[in-house]
Amino acid sequence: MSLLDKLDAVAAARKALLPEGVEVFGMPIDEIYSSTEAKIGDHRILFLGTNNYLGLTFAPECKQAAHEAIESEGTGTTGSRMANGSYIGHRALEHELADFYHCHSCIVFTTGYQANLATISGLAGPGDVVLIDGDSHASIYDGCRLSGAEIIRFRHNDMADLDKRLRRLGERSRSTLIIAEGIYSMLGDKAPLAEIVELKNAHNSILLLDEAHSLGVLGHTGQGLVEETGLIDEVDFITGTFSKSLGGIGGYCVSNHPQLDQLRYISRPYIFTASPTPATIASTRAALKLLRDGTQLRSQLWDNVHQLYSDLQQLGYRLGPEPSPVIATILDSPQQALALWKGLLENGIYVNLILPPAAPEGSSLVRCSVSAVHTREQMNFVGQAFAKVREVLSK
């Protein structure tokens, strides 16, 4: 099979899942009105699939900071962090993130994906082991592949399975990197961090926690699962992204291990990628302050989360295991998921359709992302739309 034939096979598999003429993935958003509303075609829609957990993409402080950075520093750096791309703002943001986590140091990356790619491939290498949760994000899998380390998966949030695999490694557990996520992006459940830490310590391993979906969401100041559990001092490396609660694009790694700074000299994604734009850095710095002080935003977010989770539960939808800003309805087939997705869009609500193999355990998902800036009226509207679509589909 030629290279192009392989792509034709991919197209055929995709076509088998989706009806002709239905554009689900990469649908263009024609106009953006606010953090929660936009226009697709001729229809005004409510965003319920953007990971904009605190709604900061339209925060006046963030927009103003971005404007000022463009005026003073231009549109881009045109160089990597190792070349000419470390502006004063990049270093300032690193200091602010390190201070936010009360950590020794921080490295800022151009994307959250690269934060995992660079950190994992820099920490582990041939002869080492990476133990990852089976539901890990693609960036974690790809970071492991780039590292050249042996990759071992444990069943999702199954601590007995993690313990068994660590025991089998014997002395090799000392050169093992365990990776978990604060909130998992598909079903919205949290890692059992206390148990993971206990096993990490018992086997003398290193722990990396990806807080991409829990930053700004969990903990009094929004640090994430490490703050909610009080275990920040037990986690060796924390990675995260600017593209969820911080409303921009970029990523970071923080740690109390002084060796973190050595990753700047060996991590290929850091060395060979142009650094984030001045506007991105400036808006992220403004957003970080809003996030840190945003206890009221988090309170409103969780009010919205509990309302929607409860509404969908009462309607009989099968959901992820616990309330979180990621609320997934679990369907048995791609056809069922597509019908729900289309029904919601026709009722003015944009959500994410997740089909195999991206969805865990062969299921299909309609995935909602709740925001702090969704109003009570909007959340009521969402519940009513889910009820209306369920009634139509049941017939």
Let me know whether 166 and 35 are in one domain: no
Question: Beta-strand (E) ranges in the chain?
Answer: 31-32, 37-40, 43-47, 105-109, 129-133, 150-154, 176-181, 206-210, 237-241, 251-255, 326-331, 349-350, 352-354, 364-369
Query: 39 and 122: one domain?
Result: no
Do 80 and 189 sit in the same domain of this protein? yes
Rounded CA gap, 61 and 90, in Å?
Answer: 18
Distance separating alpha carbons of residues 91 and 275, to the nearest angstrom = 12
Across 276-285, average pLDDT: 98
CATH number for the domain spanning 311: value is 3.90.1150.10
Strand pairing partners for 172?
none
- Whether residues 213 and 284 share a domain: the answer is yes
Which distant-in-sequence residues (6+ apart) come within 8 Å of 221 by Cβ?
Answer: 100, 227, 292, 295
Instruction: Give the mean pLDDT of the chain.
Output: 95
Task: Please name the residue ranges forming H helices in 104-210.
Answer: 112-123, 138-147, 159-169, 193-202
The answer to whether residues 270 and 114 touch, using CB atoms and an 8 Å cutoff, is: yes
Q: In this predicted structure, which of 20-24, 77-81, 366-370 has the lowest mean pLDDT?
A: 20-24
Domain annotation covers residue 253: yes
pLDDT at 19: 64
Whether 238 and 343 map to the same domain: the answer is: no
**Distance between CA atoms of 254 and 119, rounded to whole angstroms?**
10
pLDDT level of residue 20 (50, 70, 90 thresholds): low
- Render pLDDT for 308-335 as a digit per residue (tens, 0 to 9): 999 999 999 999 999 999 999 999 988 8
User: Using only C-alpha atoms, what is the Rg of the chain?
Assistant: 21
pLDDT tens digit sequence for 86-123: 999 999 999 999 999 999 999 999 999 999 999 999 99
> What's the pLDDT score for residue 97?
98
208 in the same domain as 73: yes
% of the chain with per-residue pLDDT over 90: 88
In our burial notation (b when 16+ CB lie closer than 10 A, e otherwise), range 111-146 reads: bbbbbbbbbbbbbbeeebbbbbbebbbebbbbbbeb
Per-residue confidence (pLDDT) for residue 279, from 0 to 100? 98
Q: Which domain holds residue 196?
A: 60-292
pLDDT at 155 (0 to 100): 97
pLDDT > 60? residue 21: no
